[in-house]
Amino acid sequence: MNDTLKILSGTAHPELAHLIAANLGVSLCKTTVDTFPDGETFVQIHENVRGRDVFIVQPTCPPTNQNLMELLIMVDAARRASADRITAVLPFFGYARQDRKDRPRVPITAKLVANLLVAAGVNRVLTIDLHAGQIQGFFDIPVDHLYAAPVLVNGLREKIGDDIVVVSPDVGGIKMTHAYARTLNAPMAIVAKNRVSAEEVQALSVIGDVEGKNVLLVDDLTETAGTLTAAAGLLKKHGAKNIYAAVSHGVLGDKGKDRLQNSEIIELFATNSVPQAHGPKVTPLDVSPLLADAIRRIHSSESVTSLFDIRG
């Protein structure tokens, strides 16, 4: 790649940024990202980015507010250094679940975050598996919305093969489940759930036949693993044999890792879109080649459509 491309990394996931840069055959742009004693973030870019095509890699995963603010400050630093174009590479877009008013007097924080990114100087966004695809419409700038399915499906085939029933852990995930089932040429089923609280989920019933069959639960993300583990317990009661799970974003905290370890799930497959995607029973799958290819195509003004294909 020529020197007009610059890859910057925040502190949210430097390992992923290094992998992306290695896939592109470039070095990360030298920067300082530090925190003052009072908690303020300081950023300095140590290389010339005037007229350059700048990509800032920073998933807004926990600590979400810190990582988001850091990204905004990095964008401002690049804009004031006269970067030609600034692309925010958000493998995981935090606040995506606050995308509508589902009760009185609540914000639509996903839209607010989109406004903040544009106001800071972001010209383009590159992300993977938004919680709701229509969030792309919250931005008044181009959004390249990639899918983790190609990475996950290829990894799944190597580990568990195609002989499986694909299950949605809730009704809202039917579209994603159908895409996986079609790709794997597998039947699908659904678990109906009731959310008791932000961390507690009650699985109610199974729609479909899972008795004596291997099962793959699919979802876009998991944090406390409440939905997945509750669904797995119910599926086991309905006679499911081996239960696996696949998520695009494994934003796992301590509670999620504990639940997963003590659940009926044999293995959870997750991309390395966030650094939290690790622990017992967790198999991270590298998404950096996909992101690097997208960055290469965006930089060269090529189409990214072919990146949506799932290769068999």
Q: DSSP for 22-82, please give it.
A: HHHT-PPPPEEEEE-TTS-EEEEE-S--TT-EEEEE----SSHHHHHHHHHHHHHHHHHTT
Instruction: Assess whether 193 carries a catalytic annotation.
Output: yes
Helices (H), the chain: 14-24, 64-80, 109-120, 149-160, 174-184, 226-237, 254-261, 288-299
Task: Decide if 41 contacts 287 (C-beta within 8 A).
Answer: no
Asked if 178 contacts 205 with a C-beta cutoff of 8 angstroms, the reply is no
- Its pTM stands at 0.92
What are the per-10-residue average pLDDT scores of the chain (312 residues)? 88 98 97 96 98 98 97 98 98 95 94 98 97 91 94 86 84 86 91 64 77 94 92 92 96 96 96 96 96 97 79 46
Q: CA 162, CA 159: separation in Å to the nearest integer?
A: 10
For 185, the 3-state DSSP assignment is: coil
Identify the burial level of 64 via C-beta atoms within 10 angstroms of its C-beta, where 0-12 means exposed, 13-18 middle and 19 or more buried: middle
Q: SS3 of 184, please?
A: helix
CA angle 222, 232, 270 (to 5 degrees): 35
Candidate CATH numbers 1.10.10.10, 3.40.50.2000, 3.30.70.870, 3.40.50.2020; the one for domain 149-285:
3.40.50.2020
Nearest in space to 180 (alpha carbons), one of 211, 150, 222: 150
Tell me whether domains 5-147+288-308 and 149-285 share a fold. Answer: yes
Q: Residue 132 carries which DSSP code?
A: S
In the numeric block, the tokens 């938004």 are attached to: 130
pLDDT, position 312 = 43
**pLDDT score of 193:** 63
The mean of the pLDDT values for the chain is: 92
Q: Is 218 exposed, middle or buried (0-12, 13-18, 19+ CB in 10 A)?
A: buried
Spot the catalytic one: 30, 101, 111, 193. Answer: 193
Architecture (CATH level 2) of domain 5-147+288-308: 3-Layer(aba) Sandwich (3.40)
Give the domain ranges of the chain: 5-147+288-308, 149-285
Pair of tokens at residue 11: 């502190």
